[in-house]
Amino acid sequence: MFPRQQLVSVPYAVRAGVADHADTAGDALSLGGFSSENFVQASEAEDFLTAAELLETLESLGFEPEIAWADILGIPADLADGDADTLSTLFCAAGEVAKWDGLTWSCDTDIDTHLSEAEVDAFVANNGYALETALSTAVASLEGGDDILQTNVDTVQTNVDAVQGNLTALSNSLDPVATAGLPPDLLDGDDNSDVLASLVCGLDQVARWDGSGWQCSNTGDRVATAAPGDCDAAGEGKVYFDSVSKTLRICDGVAYRGLKICDEICGDAATVVCGLPVEDDCGTACGPLGTAFNTLQCAEGNTVECGVAIADDCGNDCGYAGSKLTPSQCSAESTACGSSVVDDCGNECGGVGEFCADGLCVDGVCTVYASCKELLDDGQSTGDGTYSIRPDGLGSFDVYCDMTTDGGGWTLIMMMKGDDVSTFRYDSAYWDNSDVLNELTTDPDVDTNMKNRAYNSLGFSSIRMDMATLGNSHTVDISRGSAHELFTGPHVDTSYQRQDFLDWIPVDGSKWDNQPNCNLKGFQLSASQTNCRYGISMNNEGDCTSNDASIGFGCHTNSFFPNRTTQCGGSRWTPDEAYPQRGWIFVR
């Protein structure tokens, strides 16, 4: 009941705990689980005691209340008035209790008398109590620890037994002098006849048993701080510590010498010169070799090839390079003509340079020749190949020289590409101007179009034209100041005949059987609508007014009619067909 109050009505004068468990579901036929027969029952109001009657009854029984009934506050009116309680009409759900809310009784959950399992566990834990499961675990852990402790105790005992065994073995192994071998005057236990009493030793010396008697000795717990006597042959090996110089001194039989004290710390290899062993401060080698610069390992410059950096054995730069004669740096080809050949350090290699930016080095002088023929005649030929010439005195340039065909001395001035019919056709400006084309090409085996400066500047007395292959030539002895002069000048006939031209081109000669007439030939030929820089022009009619075929260099017919034009080769009529060929023009 809330608030908690003691019932004063006799039928209900039971503990509050019983009232808390009242079962109201059965019309109050039981209380606290006990049937109503176990309680005094009264249904009439006159059967209840009034407050005054209750006090009187209690006093008669020896109970005297300490406070007046009127002083008790908070008792519900339905209890204080002495008549029937309202609880008799209060019905609650199973498990609920009657609860006073300050004004009246109502049903509510029994939250004040019943704790949940979690609440009980929390209460136990918060007040320092341990759960049974935790206690069981702790007991098991302690029992396990007890076993471990016992095991450790057993191990310690075993170790103690082993130590005792070792001590016993040590005692048994001691030299008899350490036990039974003691002199009788010490073993007898008295204080007389001890020879030690008459033994006088030097400062800091100790008495030492030598197997037969006691002798003074320098060996003890510490070294003496003063010389233990004179240093002579008999005192060799005596040692003392000189506190002034802070050094150990040892007698070598002549004098006391100082001993060096060191800590045996190995030095840093980088502080020791290359190749020398690294030592500790005791002077003992301790492993690696030094890596610091070692000038003694730097070779003399004249023993190392020119330009090679000189270093010690650890690779440390010595600061200079080798200066020894180095033949691999000697090159006559890269040394100026006539100059002594030297290496990069200026050492004489022997011989003179052959390099000329212009011309050839002849007798130590750069000489530029006008043509391949001059080179050949002056004995400067080294065979077919590229040479530098200067035909007009305006600067040299490279050309291909044929030094073997027909006596040699031929200068290549033009080349015609085999499948091209237009670059050097008759009306091309290249025949008439001084422009060059691919002039750096000096290899006759390259199939390309080429025209160099020799075309306009090199005079000659012979000209050679090769068709299809080198050596398939028409050679004409004729003198001109340049090829330009010849190919742009008046018509010049040659001794070559129709058949010579038909044999010149590697095409069946019968292709031109239908063109037997005209046969105008030579340099700069022109007939009606037909021209050639060099070649032959043919016609089927008996004149030269409508020529239809040609063979040679820079030829065309019928005003450049398709398939009637070539820069080197030939063309025919019926059917119209051109036969372009590779071409070369040399002069000498």
The domains of the chain are located at: 10-114, 184-259, 327-355, 365-587
List Cβ neighbours of 395 (8 Å cut-off, separation of 6 or more): 358
User: In this predicted structure, what is the pLDDT of residue 13?
Assistant: 44
Dihedrals phi, psi of 88, to nearest 5 degrees: -70, -20
pLDDT of residue 171: 66
Amino acid (one-letter) located at 541: E
The answer to whether residues 208 and 218 touch, using CB atoms and an 8 Å cutoff, is: no
Q: Output the six-digit token pair for 367.
A: 């000489």
Which regions of the chain are under pLDDT 50?
1-2, 5, 7-19, 21-27
Helix (H) or strand (E) holding 162: helix 132-173
Q: Residue 59 and residue 79: Cα distance in Å, rounded?
A: 21
Query: How confident is the model at residue 358, as a pLDDT?
Result: 81
* pLDDT score at 222: 67
Instruction: Tell me the pTM.
Output: 0.50
**pLDDT at position 24, please?**
47
Whole-angstrom distance, CA of residue 267 vs CA of residue 255: 32
CA distance 111 to 31: 19
CA 247, chain centre distance (Å): 55
Per-residue confidence (pLDDT) for residue 9, from 0 to 100: 46
3-state secondary structure 243-276: CCCCEEEEECCCCEEEECCCCCCECCHHHCECCC
End-to-end alpha carbon distance in the chain: 148
Q: Distance of CA 504 to CAs 80, 371, 520, Å?
A: 159, 27, 16
Measured distance CA(560)–CA(572) in Å, rounded: 12
Q: What's the confidence (pLDDT) of residue 18?
A: 45
Q: What is the pLDDT of residues 517-547, one digit of tens each?
A: 999 999 999 988 899 999 999 999 999 998 9
Backbone angles phi, psi at 110, to 5 degrees: -80, 75
